[in-house]
C-alpha cells in the first residue's frame, strides 16, 4: 500500500510536484541527489510510501527496507563511489530530533566519493 502525505516534502518530490535530480526509481523506492551534499556522492534513497522515520517501521516493512539496503551499493557505484575496500560509502538514517532528522519521511543518506568531504 502506498501512502502520500500532501504536507511532506519528500512525498511531493516523489510525486514530481517539487523538482529533484533523480538517481533511480522503481515501484517501491525513489532516489535523488541531496540538495546540500556533504561529499562528491550524496543522494537520498526513500520508500515511495510515507513512513515518518525508522521509529515507525513495522515488521511488514522489512522486505522494503531490505530492498533499500541491497540497492544502496549498486546505486553508490553507479553514482561514482569507488570500489570497496579503498573506496566505499556511508549509509546514514537519522531518526528523530536527537538523531538529527530534519525531514520526517524515512530516508537513507548514501554518501561517498573521494575525500575530503565537507562533513563526516
Ligand atoms: P535529515 O537531516 O532529515 O537526515 O536529512 C534531510 C536531508 O534532506 C538533508 O541532507 C537536506 O540537505 C536534504 N534536503 C532538504 N530539503 C531538500 C530538497 O528540497 N531537495 C533535496 N534534493 N534535498 C533536500
Ligand atoms: Zn512523505
> Can you tell me the distance from the alpha carbon of 37 to that of 20, in angstroms, rounded to the nearest whole number?
13
| Ligand 2 centroid distance, CA of 88 (Å) | 28
Q: Give the chain's domains with CATH numbers.
A: 9-112 (3.30.428.10)
Ligand 1 pocket: which of 39, 54, 103 to mutate (most atoms within 8 A of CB): 103
| Ligand 1 centroid distance, CA of 103 (Å) | 7
State the pLDDT at residue 2: 83
Protein residues whose CB sits closer than 6 Å to any atom of ligand 1: 9, 20, 32-36, 94, 100-103
Give DSSP secondary structure letters for 4-63.
--TT-HHHHHHTTSS---EEEE-SSEEEEE-SS-SSSEEEEEEESS----GGG--GGGHH
State the pLDDT at residue 100: 98
| Ligand 2 centroid distance, CA of 54 (Å) | 13
Q: What is the pTM of this model?
A: 0.98
Q: What is the rounded average pLDDT of the residues 14-38?
A: 98
pLDDT class for 36, splitting at 50, 70, 90?
A: very high
User: Within 13 A of 52's CA, how many CA atoms are on the CB side?
Assistant: 5
CB 113 within 8 A of CB 40: yes
Identify the residue whose cell numbers are 513495522.
58
pLDDT class for 1, splitting at 50, 70, 90?
A: low
Ligand 1 pocket: which of 24, 36, 111 to mutate (most atoms within 8 A of CB): 36
Beta-carbon contacts of residue 41 (< 8 Å; ≥ 6 apart): 76, 79, 80, 81, 89, 110, 111, 112, 113
pLDDT tens string 74-104: 999 999 999 999 999 999 999 999 999 999 9
DSSP class of residue 87 equals S
- Identify the nearest ligand to the CA of 31 by its number: 1
| In the chain, % of residues over pLDDT 70 | 99
State the pLDDT at residue 62: 98
pLDDT tens string 44-64: 999 999 999 999 999 999 999
State the pLDDT at residue 18: 98
Amino acid at each position: 500500500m502506498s501512502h502520500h502525505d500532501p504536507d511532506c516534502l519528500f512525498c511531493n518530490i516523489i510525486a514530481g510536484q517539487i523538482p529533484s535530480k533523480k538517481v533511480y526509481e522503481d515501484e517501491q523506492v525513489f532516489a535523488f541527489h541531496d540538495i546540500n551534499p556533504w561529499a562528491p556522492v550524496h543522494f537520498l534513497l526513500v520508500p515511495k510510501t510515507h513512513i515518518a522515520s525508522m521509529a515507525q517501521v513495522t515488521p511488514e516493512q522489512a522486505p522494503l527496507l531490505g530492498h533499500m539496503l541491497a540497492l544502496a551499493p549498486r546505486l553508490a557505484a553507479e553514482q561514482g563511489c569507488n570500489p570497496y575496500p579503498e573506496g566505499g560509502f556511508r549509509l546514514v538514517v537519522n531518526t528523530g530530533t536527537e538523531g538529527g532528522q530534519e525531514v520526517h519521511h524515512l530516508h537513507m543518506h548514501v554518501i561517498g566519493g573521494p575525500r575530503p568531504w565537507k562533513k563526516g
